[in-house]
Structure 1
């Protein structure tokens, strides 16, 4: 491979997301005290300094990516400023005492809601579109997510979470795919739906879409479903667990394996106390660990099946289809798991987790801005909706059974 061909090989959104994520990770390791955070209030000089640094960093990343990828770079700054302002508003709403104490919802939920409100009322003007790059932001956030998935900590807390994750992911993915296909959902949408329900929600949907080179409109629909369904589950499942008399360990494992966003998992687990929260996080992170393996397996499956059933899973085809940002996720996890002391990894991980939340918040604002109810919630998406809900119902029942079998005998 010539030098130019090699450079062209790396000129993709996936590789740029990996590069941006790893640069942020290195900066967090080298100078953690200097890294900015998304402010929760605007009444201090430090908060405004963080805002300026975050916007400047985001602008450099997006502008450089557009230049490298040959995308229009004009008008990125004003577009990015508005998107960031909406994300900041979502953060402010989520951190307000009334909302925080009564709902426990994290900023990403309000980011989507505000984006949807703008998109479906006043609409999104053309000048706001240059920085609407939701998948790019999510991919960077997923690379940073790897810094919080520390294998040693998960194994120390218990391998039962991994066992549950393996059983549930395998069974629920196959059931979700089967039921969606039975309902007449196309193979592409069925694959994304099955991954979102069974693995880890939005992250799995993005990784799967990359592996199968899926339609971004279908991906936006799946992400919207994940976030909308997670909200009532976050509220009702803790009280349902109490009503059934589940132990905190079983309840935590149940919620961690069924609720599709990490923030919602933590919020629901905390309702039942520290023990339930601990086990819910263990199981959710165990599912996150499987993200790389799942993406690889889906790449093999899709390369073999293809859209025309003719493509064979050669090494080249597998490499082409495998979402490269998942490699960044795995690499970050390996570095923080095995190349750093645990305490250092956790302290630096707290910094990268905040930045991960910033990228996710901006991405979900973009998803909301790009989503029109009249385009998404119409008759053509009725079957995927039922497929998702049926698969999630199966997930809830199966995960409860597996969690009970594995964790009922444990007393924390």
Structure 2
């Protein structure tokens, strides 16, 4: 698998943009941010760095277009037209999420992005075709629907500051790593055996709930070779995270736990980094925000080892099943014609492993060794902002994949996934609260 494979392009794009961000910070170029607005939407555009969107918009598009050209994606030449649509909806989502009342209700840009994408998808689908299925997306829009690529780039740009991690790392590890791998496996098995969800989808749903939302879903889907099965779990998590963001801070105050315990609790059981910060902000105080961010950063690191473990186990499982199927062919002629050819385990595992995890690790190393310590906080925030644009575009892409007619046909699966998420989230909330109390109150 060469450097030009689609698995590697999130690394190249993410690392290039990380370098550009570092240079921008050295030249005192501010990050673009939507300012909160009450009644006049254009108040949101008055931030010092918002002119940077005029650079960021074409730069992101050119880099992804380069990737589409390099891998010879279908209809790659029409990517700019589709990218414009995806970016406009991302812009509108962020703009709307900056409205004060919307922001206070924790209705983040991911919700609006999925909604806008789904509305466009179903308007374009029109009436069902003779076979009952919706019309497919036109090629010019389909080529811009790059859910996995966008999320992978956003993860590569997620900086991990070792100096911030160091003081709280042992306790954050205790909260994030003690129960997460075990609960991930147990709940995935429950989903497959009791709820009769196919094992791949159940693992993606479980991992996304216990680790870090959409990033974990994409990493696990890649490890399992099931990229098409990640959209529905991500959409469910994006919608049902909102109650946790709103409720947990008030529960934390009601049961009178300390700010450090509350922050660790949010960091360990709220799905995404942005949602964690939102919950800690509602709770109030820098202590809760900093603790929640550190715990979530430590939990994000789990993406790497769990992806490797899942890829290893699933690759072995597939190899064993193919071997068993081959051995059941009684006729020697049929067995000779079988396409089963044992492949070395190492290459199989490497092909399945999500390469953007390596980009994530390399960014962390560069961030802590190359970026001056005085610039790290600003580089981290700037890089996170750029990564969030890719993340929002991924949610628009998820919406573009949600066809209401097909969702009605998959209503049973949808209900089962919601039930699995509710179970996983309840277990996560209770177990993480206990671990956070032990780590930050008793020690």
TM > 0.5: yes
* Number of the residue aligned with 1:241: 252
Pair 234,324 (structure 1): closer, same or farther in 2 beyond 3 Å:
same
* Deviation (angstroms), 1:293: 1.5
- 8 Å CA contact 2:150–2:391 kept in 1: the answer is yes
CA distance in 1 between partners of 2:362 and 2:94 (Å):
29
Aligned partner of residue 19 in structure 1, secondary structure: helix
- 8 Å CA contact 2:30–2:48 kept in 1: the answer is no
Q: Give per-residue Cα distances to partners, 1:323-374, cap 9 Å, x unaligned.
A: 0011000110122134444332222122211100111111111111221233
TM-score (norm 1): 0.89
Pair 43,388 (structure 1): closer, same or farther in 2 beyond 3 Å:
closer
* Number of the residue aligned with 1:108: 110
User: Is the counterpart of residue 141 in structure 1 residue 154 in structure 2?
Assistant: yes
CA distance in 1 between partners of 2:233 and 2:146 (Å):
17
- The answer for unaligned runs of 5 or more in structure 2 is 36-41, 126-135, 324-341
1:66-77 paired onto structure 2 within 5 Å? 66-71=68-73, 72-77=75-80
* Number of the residue aligned with 1:366: 397
* Number of the residue aligned with 2:296: 284
- 8 Å CA contact 2:191–2:420 kept in 1: the answer is yes
Q: Give per-residue Cα distances to partners, 1:195-233, cap 9 Å, x unaligned.
A: 1121111111111111111141x2001101111110111
**Equivalent residue for 1:222, pick from 233, 245, 259:** 233
Greater C-alpha radius of gyration: 2
1:164-243 paired onto structure 2 within 5 Å? 164-183=175-194, 184-216=196-228, 218-243=229-254
Q: Give per-residue Cα distances to partners, 1:167-212, cap 9 Å, x unaligned.
A: 1212221221121122222221122122112111111111111111
Pair 35,252 (structure 1): closer, same or farther in 2 beyond 3 Å:
closer
* Deviation (angstroms), 1:291: 1.5
CA distance in 2 between partners of 1:264 and 1:47 (Å):
24
Provide the alpha-carbon RMSD of the alignment.
2.4
Pair 69,158 (structure 1): closer, same or farther in 2 beyond 3 Å:
closer
Q: Give per-residue Cα distances to partners, 1:88-123, cap 9 Å, x unaligned.
A: 1111111123323x3244322322222223334455
- 8 Å CA contact 1:36–1:54 kept in 2: the answer is no
- The answer for unaligned runs of 5 or more in structure 1 is 1-7
* Deviation (angstroms), 1:386: 2.1
CA distance in 2 between partners of 1:221 and 1:129 (Å):
18
Greater Cα offset, 194-203 or 41-50: 41-50
* Number of the residue aligned with 1:306: 318
* Deviation (angstroms), 1:140: 0.8
User: Is the counterpart of residue 161 in structure 1 residue 180 in structure 2?
Assistant: no
Pair 350,181 (structure 1): closer, same or farther in 2 beyond 3 Å:
same
CA distance in 1 between partners of 2:281 and 2:60 (Å):
33
- 8 Å CA contact 1:38–1:358 kept in 2: the answer is no
Pair 232,294 (structure 1): closer, same or farther in 2 beyond 3 Å:
same
Aligned partner of residue 144 in structure 2, secondary structure: coil
* Deviation (angstroms), 1:375: 2.3
* Number of the residue aligned with 2:366: 335
**Equivalent residue for 1:128, pick from 141, 144, 149:** 141
